[in-house]
Amino acid sequence: MAGTPIQTSSHGRVLIAQDMYYEGGFLALDHGDGLFRLYRHLSA
């Protein structure tokens, strides 16, 4: 739902937070130890 805050399962460092052509609003988090979480199609 639009306006819902993003909640992650673990703390992480933001690698990318930008609008992209196919992904729309895109967010990439680095959780360490080679674990990454990607969020796509975000409105803001």
With a cut of 70, say whether residue 44 has pLDDT above it: no
**According to the model, what pLDDT value does residue 15 have?**
93
The total of other beta-carbon atoms located within 10 Å of residue 39's CB is 15
More confident residue, 19 or 42: 19
Distance CA 16, CA 9 (A): 18
> Beta partners for 29?
14, 37
**According to the model, what pLDDT value does residue 30 have?**
94
Token reading at 35: 């674990």
pLDDT tier, 14 (very low <50, low <70, confident <90, very high otherwise) = very high
